A and B are shown apart, each in its own frame.
Chain A
Amino acid sequence: MGPRVGMEVSIAVSRAVQLARAEAIAAYPITPQTHIVEHLSSLVANGDLEAEFVNVESEHSAMSASVGSAATGARTYTATSSQGLALMHEILFIASGMRLPIVMTVANRALSAPLSIWNDHGDIMPERDIGWIQIFVENGQEAFDHSVMAFKIAEDHRVLLPTIINLDGFILTHVVEPLEMLEQETVDRFLPPLTPYLKLDPKKPVTMGAFALPELYTETKMAHQMALTNSYGHILEVWREWGELTGRHYQPVERYRTEGARVLLLLMGSLAEVAEVAVDEMREAGQAVGLLKPRLWRPFPFADLRAAMAGADLVIVCDRAMSLGGAAGPVLAEVRSAFYPLAQRPQVLGYIVGLGGRDVQPQVFKDIVSHALKEIEQGPGEEFYLVGVRG
């Protein structure tokens, strides 16, 4: 296996992109994504990565250039955060609608206003419906692993969808962790060069991103929906292969101490590791509490989630973003809708934690569990709880 090194997670992500032999990178620096693209820029400038690095003037251009380069059949990578992701918004739909296998890291950060450079999931949740594959990671090793795997998933001719790896800004991006890297030859065996399905080529002209009449637009959306839904099996295939290669196995919904659990916490991203500490302490105190960590946000793993929740009476969803003016956080809404059609379903309560970098300690999760248990005894309370808000 590859060498074990201490490395900043951002550097590990750029190393993953280097090992994947990305051919085109178009990115604009934004905190906390900056170290990833700075390092990639150095790799290209120093001749350690044979790629075109396009210094664009905005994220709108970064994604537009990515669309262009992916359309010519180049392995394309970009990364962004927060306002940068928001600025990409309209092009994100174009990338997925044209089925271009771009890989993007989103170093999750809160959205303005007020200005915050700190971590939450407020940037990616408004991009829920862009039609990309969306994956969350909880530590540096996962960030490295999924950054390599994303190319293989996206470029599979049965998938052909752009893919986002979400990793928490600062909490992951700027932390030095012990990581197991892979050798170039191992990655080369795992990830063959990109074979374009269709590309812009003067020798065989095609029209990409043409218009669709009302008679056809619905069919294009159905085709996209089915492609994203059906990508599920191919994602798992890639993850299985990676598991055999590295011994690190990944699931659409990761479970932590869920055996016999009556209460399940559910959350995505790096806070899951904090919640694990709380679960350990609650288990030691005799409480049947477990933790679910959905890794795959799009396509949403409905069946895995239902299977993972069987036997639980109470599911506590911890969102890291709000749906302002709505009834629930984005993850809560999804989980509730997964269970509503079932006759036998657990109570599903929602808590919003860790907005704009607000620190969340294990005690917070213990308090949430006690609060939720009281709530279901007393009957329906609030639609959701904004944990720790003053006033």
Chain B
Amino acid sequence: MSKAWDQVTWQELEIGAVLTEPGSARAYRTGDWRSMHPVWDKKRCIQCGVCWTVCPEAGISEEPDGYFEMNDYCKGCGICAKECVTGCISMAPEEE
């Protein structure tokens, strides 16, 4: 469905609300309700990728420069900060 979810009328819904196109979850930024987010201190980051590995939500992406950043699916759980080998990740509060 190309329309935004909050614009779709009941008549436009597929019967049984069946999704006929794969990958529709990509359109929903599930991280928008997080209250904390990880911040990397690049001076201490060794680009080991442990944060990327332990993230349960695929909320961390590797950047072209080899460092890591959160993406739109990060829920702010803080597992990456807890598991970071060098302690380079800190959790910062989400601001408006």
Contact = CB atoms under 8 A, between A and B. Distances in A.
Contacts of B28: 213
A340 interface: no
B19 A219 contact: no
Given A198-B20, A222-B10, A226-B10, A215 B5 contact: yes
A153 B5 CA distance: 31
A251 B20 CA distance: 38
Interface string A183-224: 000000000000001100000011110101101100110110
Interface in B11-41: 11, 13-20, 22, 24, 28
Contacts, number: 55
A205 B17 contact: no
B15 A160 contact: yes
Contact of B18 (A98, A216, A219, A222): A98
Nearest to A212: B17
- The DSSP consensus for interface residues of chain A is loop
A207 B22 CA distance: 8
Contacts of A215: 5-6
Interface residues of B, number: 17
B16 A99 contact: yes
B42 to A, nearest CB: 36
Q: Name which of A97, A206, A213, A222 has the most chain B CB atoms within 10 A of its CB.
A: A206
Nearest to B12: A219
Contacts of A205: 22
Contacts of A36: none
Contact of A197 (B6, B8, B13, B15): B15
22 contacts: A97-B16, A98-B18, A99-B16, A160-B16, A197-B15, A198-B14, A198-B15, A198-B16, A198-B18, A207-B18, A208-B19, A212-B17, A213-B5, A213-B28, A215-B5, A216-B5, A216-B6, A216-B17, A220-B10, A220-B17, A223-B17, A227-B15
